Structure 1
Amino acid sequence: MKIASENIKEKGAKDESLGTPVWIEPMALSEDESKKLSFSIPRKPKGVFLLQKISECLFLNGNQDIVLLIRTIYNKEEQVYYDSRVGNFIGVTVVGKFLAKHWNDDTAYLEHVKGMLETFCKSNYNLVKKPLMERKVIPTITIRPLKAVIQEHPNLLMCVTSGFYPQSINVTLLKNGGEVTHDIASSGVIPNGDWTYQITLLMEFIPQKEDVYSCKVEHSSLKEPMIMDWKYPGAKLSK
């Protein structure tokens, strides 16, 4: 599970008369400015640029292992990040390495960031545990051929399992009650964008009137596996 907070700042405006966009260059610090960080902008940047600071809490093995990540990104390029497993900032770009050194040398600030593992991550765990960790949504299943069914003509059988939460799920295809393990392609689990997921399985098969194909779904929202059957059109399903 992950908690994330994002602080985004946009600056600049489109104006063809303005100069070329320039990353803010760091200046040398004087002894009296050891606790400050000064920047120099050679000229007003052209267009819009984006500076992001993203803080993430990763909860692994329930809440046994908690990781705090703080990432600073400029125009989609990561500059510097903090990883609680390491305990300090790590620079990625030239500017990022400058910032990492400055923040790592600032003992008070570094201790404040380290403390966020408790004040930001652990303190928010109980707030999100119930709506996220205990949230369960039952999946829906659709099973059908992709092409018009003609007996003894090769076809593709599609099983779509959608709308489920959490992400972990087990979907299998059956033929006459036995698991099919060959000639199957899977989309993998894909997010729907609404805090639910979907997965699609495709299987090559040759339709026969006597065969019954099934999509079997096992998920934490279900008390027992959910099974949806498909049989050759006009044939009766046995009970």
Structure 2
Amino acid sequence: LSVPDAFLKYDLYTCVFTSSELPDIEFIYSMYFNKIEVMRFNSTAGKWVGYDEFGIYNAERLNNDPAEMAVRRAQKETFCKYNIEIRYRAALDKTAEPSVRLTSVTPPSGRHPAMLMCSVYNFYPKYISVTWLRDGQPVTSDVTSTDELANGDWYYQIHSYLEYTTRSGEKITCMVEHASFPSPKKVDWNPSMSQSDRNKIATGASGLLLGLILSLAGLIYYKRKARGRVLVPTS
């Protein structure tokens, strides 16, 4: 193809599948000439179909060739099923169990005084369901969610938000359903202490501990210096 007016012919093999079982697989063999598809074999239809004069002529010729048709119909199993099973073993049937974190955040609007964020991290495959429950009942209003966000390393994350008005004694739950879980995972919100309050307490405790360490170090240094002093009488 070193000349500018050269013709280009190429074939494209495609396997469309929802599982590795034969009934869930479709084999498609397309022939292209100068970027235009001229004819196609589809395992669902079980025959060739042409799209222009050249393709229609050759599709009819191939459909009347028993040896050709036997080869194409077998490729659903010999080509597609074989390669699909390899990919399932390598990656498609792998799962990574997500971590779930429930935190309190500031509501963006004044409709409700409180908002919770359910963050789900590092899961695979992509498909996941995140729902909210209040006292065991599904919540559908005042709920927003991001799409599944790709981390760039095969893993995904998603964040779901619930705006609400607090009711005394109620239980709010974030429920996550994923292929890696044998059953839905439920995380209950504990309103006794928000995440920001926990962070403040942790920061304060760290500061207090550091202060005690420095004070103790100063006291030890002072006592050591005091032992080494020599008292000189004055007249």
- What is the RMSD computed on CA atoms of the aligned residues? 4.5
The answer to whether the Cα contact below 8 Å between 1:209 and 1:232 also exists between their aligned partners in 2 is no
Same amino acid, percent of matched pairs: 26
The answer to whether the Cα contact below 8 Å between 1:209 and 1:235 also exists between their aligned partners in 2 is no
Q: Note the C-alpha offset of 1:135.
A: 1.6
Per-residue CA distance 1:99-146 (angstroms, 9 max, x = gap): 533443444323211121232234445534433464221123355577
Aligned partner (choices 45, 55, 72) of residue 14 of structure 2: 55
**Match in the other structure for 1:184:** 143
The answer to whether the Cα contact below 8 Å between 2:40 and 2:48 also exists between their aligned partners in 1 is yes
**Match in the other structure for 1:70:** 29
Aligned partner (choices 41, 61, 68) of residue 82 of structure 1: 41
**Match in the other structure for 2:71:** 112
Structure 2 CA distance for aligned equivalents of residues 179 and 72 of structure 1: 51
**SS at 1:137 equivalent:** coil
Structure ID, larger Rg:
2
The answer to whether the Cα contact below 8 Å between 1:59 and 1:67 also exists between their aligned partners in 2 is no
Amino acid aligned to 1:104? N
Structure 2 residue 181 is matched with structure 1 residue 222: yes
**Match in the other structure for 1:175:** 134
Matches within 5 A, 1:16-35: none
Which ranges of structure 1 fall in alignment gaps of 5 or more residues?
1-10, 19-42
Q: Which moved more, 1:184-193 or 1:66-75?
A: 184-193
Amino acid aligned to 2:28? L
Q: Note the C-alpha offset of 1:217.
A: 0.7
Scaled by the length of structure 1, the TM-score of the pair is 0.55
Distance 1:151 1:176, change over 3 A: farther
Distance 1:121 1:218, change over 3 A: same
Total equivalences in the alignment: 194
**Match in the other structure for 1:27:** none
Structure 2 CA distance for aligned equivalents of residues 148 and 86 of structure 1: 55
Which ranges of structure 2 fall in alignment gaps of 5 or more residues?
198-235
Structure 1 CA distance for aligned equivalents of residues 116 and 138 of structure 2: 14
Matches within 5 A, 1:63-212: 63=21, 65=23, 66-72=25-31, 78-92=37-51, 96-124=55-83, 126-132=85-91, 134-143=93-102, 147=106, 153=112, 158-185=117-144, 195-196=154-155, 199-203=158-162, 205-206=163-164, 208=166
**Match in the other structure for 2:206:** none
Per-residue CA distance 1:154-213 (angstroms, 9 max, x = gap): 67655454543345533211235532123435566677675555555454x245496764
The answer to whether the Cα contact below 8 Å between 1:151 and 1:207 also exists between their aligned partners in 2 is no
